[in-house]
Amino acid sequence: MIRHLYFCAFLALLPLFGFGQTFGIVIHGGAGNGINPEQLKGEKAEAYDTALNNAIRFGYSLLEDGMDAVSVVEAVIVELENNPLFNAGLGAVANANNEVFHDASIMRGSDLNAGAVANVFGPKNPIQAAIAVMDKSKHVLLSGRGAEAFSASQNVRMLSEADKTNYIQAAPQPKVSKKGTVGCVVLDMYGDLAAGTSTGGTAKKLPGRVGDSPIIGAGTWADNRSCAVSATGDGEYFIRTGAAQYVGSSMRMLELDLQTAIESSIVEIDELGGEGGLIGIDKHGNIGWHFNTKGMFRAAHTSEMPKPLVEMFSK
């Protein structure tokens, strides 16, 4: 009897030490109708494929090493923010005044704590500013100069004036809004979920505009009771529908599986006339994504998969 009790206790503790717990990561690099085989091919397509492969393999290796979910989300999004291929950090697009501003958010599924920054141009990696808000303040969302000052006070690496000039000069201004927001959702080997999203917003947006990326429940959501989700696309529609939290709530209250819940959220956005996509991972390590555009940069790797899955176009 005593041996049986010890054995049961041992089994119960295995997930705490990373044994028997499925873990994984899903990332996105934006969704849009410009992501299609006709317009995106050759060296440019190869560049995106390489970037997605590098990011997903990097994040998965950190999970294998035992890193916690929030830290993996941070590391991977920093990697994507530093890549000018994506509309976040270094690759952020300019607004109507030829200014660059960043939005980012992070959420931890174990305690529903979250942090976000909006309309900032100072932190080199906006996701790290969002994490500072979550961990070092009693607030969830800081914006503008206040967010920049707080970030600097918390030793978040800031852009120099020369860096800012380079960011503005390099900012693309396409005729249509670039949907290259980046996001990352993670289930670590300890059973904890986290989600993060970072963006430069839409090209030629009105000064002061804030999309869904820094809005908890719209662009980012993580709850250990259900799933972790990150969004990309027409932010206004994701805000109006509470798209990211909708997925988690549908799983908990309606008992939908992750993929069905994601698809249901995108259907609602589609019916309103919005475009974009969602990625997610649930508490069991199941992955899901769905979008109503011609393509979405996306990749996934879990401990149940033999190798990473990287895709760009719709099937």
Q: What is the Cα 17 distance to its own chain's centre?
A: 26
Q: Which helix (H) or strand (E) holds 248?
A: helix 243-253
Q: Which residues pair with 282 in a beta bridge?
A: 227
What is d(CA 213, CA 215) in angstroms, rounded to the nearest whole number? 6
- CA nearest 195: which of 204, 184, 208, 205? 184
CA-based radius of gyration for the chain: 19
Q: Which residue out of 50, 181, 232, 260 is catalytically annotated?
A: 181
DSSP β-ladder status, 227-233 and 114-120: unpaired
Q: Is 241 among the residues known to form the active site?
A: no
DSSP β-ladder status, 182-187 and 24-32: antiparallel
DSSP result, 78-139? HHHHT-TTSSSGGGPPP-TTS---EEEEEEETTT--EEEEEEE-SBSSHHHHHHHHHHHSS-
Q: What angle (nearest 5°) sits at the alpha carbon of residue 220, between those of residues 218 and 225?
A: 105
- Residues designated catalytic: 181
